[in-house]
Amino acid sequence: MMNTVAPPPDLLEIQALQAKLVAALKPILAEDGLLWEPEDTIPYECDGLAAYRRMPLAVALPENEAQVSCILQICHAMSIPVVPRGAGTGLSGGAMPISQGLVLSLAKLKKILDINPFTRTAVVQPGVRNLAISEAVAHLGLYYAPDPSSQIACTIGGNVNENSGGVHCLKYGLTLHNVLRVRGILMNGEIVEFGSLAPDAPGLDLLSIVMGSEGMLAVITEVTVKLVPKPKLAQVIMASFDDIEKGGNAVAAIIAAGIIPAGLEMMDKATTRAVEEFVHAGYDLDAVAILLCESDGTPEEVAEEIGRMTTVLEKAGASGIRVSENENERLRFWSGRKNAFPAAGRIAADYYCMDGTIPRRHIATLLLRIQEMEKKYSLRCLNVLHAGDGNMHPLILFNGADADEWHRAEEFGTDILEACVELGGTITGEHGVGIEKINSMCVQFGEHERELFWGVKRAFDPAQLMNPDKAIPTLNRCAEYGRMRISGGKLPHPELERF
Amino acid sequence: MSDVQIQQFRDQIQTAAHANTVLSIEGGGSKAWYGNPNTHEKLLTSSFHGILDYQPEELVITARAGTPLSTIEAALAEKNQMLAFEPPHFGGHATFGGAVSAGLAGPGRISGGNLRGYVLGTRLMDGQGHDLSFGGKVMKNVAGYDVSRLLPGSLGTFALILEASVKVLPKPAATASLRCSISEARALTVLNEWAGQPLPLSASCWIGTGDTNTDGELTIRLAGAIAAVHSATALMKTTLGASELDPATADVFWHNLREQQLDCFHDLGGDEVLYRLALPAICPAIQFTGFSSSAASHKRILEWHGQQRWWYGPGDAATQAKVKAKAIEHGGHASCFRVGSHGVDQRFTLLSDQAHSKALVAVQNQLRKAFDPSGVFATGRLP
């Protein structure tokens, strides 16, 4: 199960290193700001991807930027790797500790420093929860647009590091489009700022490379986010389809008609059935696919857009269309989509969530292929999609107590990701590569691209101590992976020496 | 054909790398004046053109760097779509690759966002002649560092862009433009207040003088759903006494603003500079006494609800320093966007001048080395 992990180093060696690190960090942190006893550090052994676990040397919980800088300087001097961590809700193991490293939790940096209604910005510390920003500015008629499913728990620092999206990013953009400035600290302890409140400074834009960098370039200590006016009204259409292809084509038809819905989501039949039992939203249980299409804006705008979308959906062959008549009903229509993950957890011991993105026109193709894979691996899969973005979240159901099932689930997931790349897409839309998809990076990128990624890494972190071993595979690792997955009799990367 | 051209690019880059010479990448040459001047050998991309993939329902267009920007815009217009960041052409030969590399945006930037946000993927050739692809054609992608988005604004100093995939948007269902007479201070206040409300505000431009007591002319563009544009038009008429422009006049105005062809953008004298100030939304009307009386009478142009401001002034080092200091005082930055024939070489603020960016100088230098170890693209166009 953990074939990606190096064998544990000598126990005595680790204990000595731990003692040295604790002695160095203790003087600069509050009493409850440093954990090293196993019973204290065990909650940090994994993030939202619980299948990958490791115990760190220690966990530091600084309370301010100066402490963060000090911690990094100390670790830099001691050559101890650091894994930054927000709320630990990540789904790709990006915050999985390193056995001989420190976990740097930003959870205590959770102040909202400034809210400015005139500039429509808020300055927040990295540990502020995504939803807490919108809650803090709701009285001004504003909100922070990106809304990943985990928004109740996930933090803005983590969002920046994953370039998180959410249900509404088709219309309102990703984290990248909603953050103006990021303050962070390099591995050597130097404080830097990326971006600006003033738009489009001439020069290289390093903010964009920090976005989605999975905690590998800088530790974020402050984020200036854009706030947008809260729409006066939102309404959602729930459309049923008796055929996967019709459903997939309807997604493309809405976009082709010049409409950018506030949300455009899809669930397959297996998902609808699983969630209906759980939320009783009144879903059409016979539908092969259900689309949720949201419109927001002024009442006039919403009426206009709902009308246009209804026409397109009818033309696309929807077998049933319902429009939410009030806010309660709208939330009920959404409840299933929002509860797909817990519903999956209810019908299976474990589930494995994938995150590939493909061009919208291939949605049906991929869903049909996943049906074939279900047979091949004898495992069930629920499909929920940010259809408007082509971002798929297949949930592979398995029983973790059965090693063979987990192995099949991993293989199933890898097959899905490779299908995404083949269809012109990518292995991760918003969850990040982390440790989970690091092998699939060998499929998506060639040797020279990966070498350039390392060049980027070294430019920010020459000693390669900040969350090393994540996201970007080494040449050797890809060679090893290629050896394991020889497809169609052809060896990938024949140019490489095999080990 | 394209393989042959790619090999030619590779040959030119590898030859330059071996000879330790520098190549200045050029598309149509329409923005050759932008950035620090250089006289290096050119690497021309205009023959490498063509739209490679455009499917309106995917909201993405992929094209070769040398494709004329006008060809891209025409293809999109045919399907009722557009580049929402409205890149300026600054000449008839502007190319797609040049637009991405310059990273400039037009009036729609304030509502639609900057060019960088629309870049989804690129195919590049680095300083060793490696043919590399980053990002892709899909909306959401966090596989690996977002290298593609380093390219906008890099002015050819990083890598050769071979192809780019850019997100496009449907044209709005309705647009309307309105105009009124108003002071700079009041214009800034109303624009920022409205920007905080769910109104379909798409672009704005205020033109007036540096004398803050006199009114200037404010033009506003609304774009969005028919009903929303209709009700906002009524609001602006009553609040500001604004009158609606006929659509043809409005189109010409926004086009000429984007291309800096309005009368207020005049030809530069030999010692003159068109300064670009980029400022935070909160920045008020700026009192500036650093210009001589003749320069003070020139028009000032404010776009992006005041976040981008154009000032004409003398280009001497002392004045430049004063303009930059003024912008920094207000939390922004200033650059010499266009310079007269006797212009200076250093047109952009150096990273090392910015308080919290000093440590990034080393990062930036190392990043450049990763892309271009021998400095083939080190034209110095960008500091």
A183 touches chain B (CB under 8 A): yes
Q: How many CB pairs under 8 A join A and B?
A: 279
- What's residue B213's pLDDT? 76
Instruction: Determine, yes or no, domain membership for A168.
Output: yes
Quote the percentage of chain B above a pLDDT of 90: 82
Would you call A230 an interface residue with chain B, using a CB distance cutoff of 8 Å? yes
Alpha carbons B164 and A299: distance in angstroms, whole number: 38
pLDDT (tens digit per residue) in A476-487: 888 888 766 544
Whether residues B64 and B83 share a domain: the answer is yes
Residues in A 198-217 with any Cβ partner in B closer than 8 A: 198-206, 208-209, 211-214, 217
**Same domain, yes or no, for B95 and B242?**
no
Q: Do residues A277 and A315 both lie within one domain?
A: yes
Q: A329 with A388, same domain? A: no
Do residue B120 and residue B15 come from a single domain? yes
Nearest CA in chain B to A206: B150
Domain edge (last residue) among B170, B199, B227: B170
**Mean local confidence (pLDDT), A383-403:** 92
Residue B366 domain flag: no
Q: What is the CATH number for B160?
A: 3.30.465.10
Minimal Cβ distance to A201: which of B136, B143, B278: B278
Question: Measured between alpha carbons, how far is B215 from B209 in angstroms, rounded to an integer?
Answer: 8
Q: How far apart are CA A57 and CA A473, in angstroms?
A: 24
First to last CA, chain A: 21
Q: Are residues A370 and A459 in the same domain?
A: no
- Count structural domains, chain A: 5
Q: Which of B146, B170, B194 is the last residue of a domain?
A: B170
Enter the ipTM.
0.95
Shared domain for B70 and B179, answered yes or no, is no
Query: What is the rounded (10 degree) CA torsion for B178, B182, B185, B191?
Result: -20
* CA atoms of A71 and A54, how far apart (whole Å): 21
Domain boundary among A38, A72, A105: A105
Domain shared by A251 and A326, yes or no: yes
Strand partners, A122: A115, A225
Q: What would the pLDDT profile of A426-447 be if each residue is shown by its tens digit?
A: 999 989 999 999 999 998 899 9
The rounded distance, in Å, linking the Cα atoms of B45 and B95 is 9
d(CA B100, CA B163): 10
For residue A445, tell me if it sits in a domain.
yes
Judged by a CB distance cut-off of 8 A, whether residue A431 touches chain B is yes
Residues B110 and B191 in one domain: no
What would the mean pLDDT of A163-182 be, rounded to a whole number?
A: 94
What is the per-residue pLDDT across B143-153, written as a single tens digit (0 to 9) for each? 999 999 999 99
Shared domain for B305 and B215, answered yes or no, is: yes
Q: Which of A231, A294, A299, A223 is nearest to A265 (CA)?
A: A294
- For residue A431, being part of any structural domain is answered with no
- Residue of chain B whose Cα is closest to the Cα of A392: B140
Q: A170 in a domain, yes or no?
A: yes
Cα A114 to Cα A119, A453, B13: the distances in Å are: 11, 35, 49
Task: Output the average pLDDT for chain A.
Answer: 92
For residue B331, is it within any domain? yes
Place of tokens 């009553």: B238
A264 vs B contacts (CB less than 8 Å): none
Q: Are residues B164 and B266 in the same domain?
A: no
B142/A433 Cβ within 8 A: yes
Contact between B382 and A116 using a beta-carbon 8 Å cutoff: no
Chain B partners within 8 Å of A231 (Cβ): 198
**Is residue B381 domain-resident?**
no
Could you tell me if A170 and A388 are in contact, meaning their C-beta atoms sit under 8 angstroms apart?
yes
| Residue A396, both tokens | 């592979």
Q: Identify whether A320 is part of a domain.
A: yes
CA of B358 vs chain A CAs: smallest distance (Å):
8
The pLDDT tens digits of the residues spanning A111-165 come to 999 999 989 999 999 999 999 999 999 999 999 999 998 899 999 999 999 999 9
A335 or B202, greater pLDDT: B202
| Pair A118, A218 in one domain | yes
Domain match, A261 and A198 both: no
Q: Are B248 and B158 in the same domain?
A: no
Based on the fold, state whether residues A20 and A101 are members of the same structural domain. yes
A172 backbone φψ class: left, alpha, beta (φ>0; ψ -120 to 50): alpha
Residues of B in contact with A171 (CB under 8 A): none
* Domain with B318 in it: 174-339
A496 lies in some domain = no
Residue A169 in contact with partner chain B when CB distance is under 8 A: yes
- Tell me how far apart the alpha carbons of residues A435 and A440 are, in angstroms, rounded to a whole number: 10
Does A218 reach chain B within 8 Å, measured CB to CB?
no
Residue A44 belongs to a domain with what CATH number? 3.30.43.10
Domain extent, residue A415, equals: 348-422
What is the pLDDT, as a whole number, of residue A188?
97
- In terms of Cβ atoms closer than 10 Å to its own Cβ (0-12, 13-18, 19+), residue A319 is middle
Whether residue B57 is contained in a domain is answered as: yes
Residue B289 domain-assigned? yes
Higher pLDDT, A404 or A166: A404
Q: A156: domain CATH number? A: 3.30.465.10
Whether residues A72 and A176 share a domain: the answer is no
Rounded to a whole number of angstroms, the CA Rg of chain A reads: 23
Contact status, residue B91 vs residue B61, Cβ threshold 8 Å: no
Q: CA of A140 to nearest chain B CA: how many angstroms apart? A: 9
Give the pLDDT score at A338: 81
Q: What's the pLDDT at A391?
A: 93
Give yes or no: residues A376 and A447 share one domain.
Answer: no
Chain A residues lying within 8 Å of B366, measured CB to CB: 455, 458-459, 462
Task: Mark whether A85 and A191 lie in a shared domain.
Answer: no
> Are A90 and A126 in the same domain?
no
Name the pLDDT band for A3 (thresholds 50, 70, 90).
Answer: very low
Task: Count the domains in chain B.
Answer: 2
User: What band does A8 get if pLDDT is binned at 50, 70 and 90?
Assistant: low
Judge if B123 and B195 occupy the same domain: no
Report the distance separating Cα B190 and Cα B199, nearest Å.
12
Regarding whether A177 and A263 lie in a shared domain, the answer is no
- End of a domain among A61, A81, A105? A105
Q: Provide the CATH number for the domain around residue B276.
A: 3.40.462
The whole-angstrom distance between B145's CA and the closest CA on chain A is 6
Same structural domain, B15 and B70? yes
Largest CA distance in chain A: 70
Residue B296 in domain: yes
β-sheet bridge partners, residue B131: B125
Collect all residues with Cβ–Cβ distance below 8 Å to B340 and sequence separation of at least 6: B268, B269, B270, B271, B272, B273, B315
Of A214, A229, A244, the domain-final residue: A229
B208 in Cβ contact with B184 (< 8 Å): yes
3-state secondary structure chain B: CHHHHHHHHHHHHHHHHHHCCCEEEECCCCCCCCCCCCCCEEEECCCCCCEEEEEHHHCEEEEECCCEHHHHHHHHHHCCEECCCCCCCCCCCCEHHHHHHHCCCCCCHHHHCCHHHHEEEEEEECCCCCEEEEECCCCCCCCCCCHHHHCCCCCCCCCEEEEEEEECEECCCEEEEEEEEECHHHHHHHHHHHHCCCCCEEEEEEEEECCCCCCEEEEEEEEECHHHHHHHHHHHHHHHCCEECCHHHHHHHHHHHHCCCCCCCCCCCCCEEEEEEECCCCCCCCCCCCCCHHHHCCEEEEEHHHCEEEEEEECCHHHHHHHHHHHHHCCCEEEEEEECCCCCCCCCCCHHHCHHHCCHHHHHHHHHHHHCCCCCCCCCCCC
Report yes or no on B209 lying in a domain.
yes
Q: Are residues B191 and B322 in the same domain?
A: yes
The enclosing domain of A278 has a CATH number of 3.30.70.3450
Is A148 part of any domain? yes
In a domain, A434, yes or no: no
Query: Going residue by residue through chain B (383 aa), what tens digit of pLDDT does each one get?
Result: 589 999 999 999 999 999 999 999 999 999 999 999 999 999 999 999 999 999 999 999 999 999 999 999 999 999 999 999 999 999 989 999 999 999 999 999 999 999 999 999 999 999 999 999 999 898 888 899 999 999 999 999 999 999 999 999 999 999 999 999 999 999 999 999 999 888 999 999 999 987 777 899 999 999 999 999 999 999 999 999 999 999 999 999 999 999 999 999 988 888 999 999 999 998 999 988 888 767 667 889 999 999 999 999 999 989 999 999 999 999 999 999 999 988 777 788 766 666 667 889 899 999 999 999 999 999 999 88
Which of B144, B154, B331 is opposite residue A453, by nearest beta carbon? Answer: B144
Considering the entire predicted model, what is its pTM? 0.94
Does a structural domain hold residue B292?
Answer: yes
Q: Tell me whether A158 touches chain B (CB under 8 Å).
A: no
CB contact under 8 A, B142 and A163: yes
Q: What count of residues does chain B have?
A: 383
Rounded CA-CA distance A175/B52 in Å is 29
Residue range A336-347, pLDDT digits in tens: 888 888 888 888
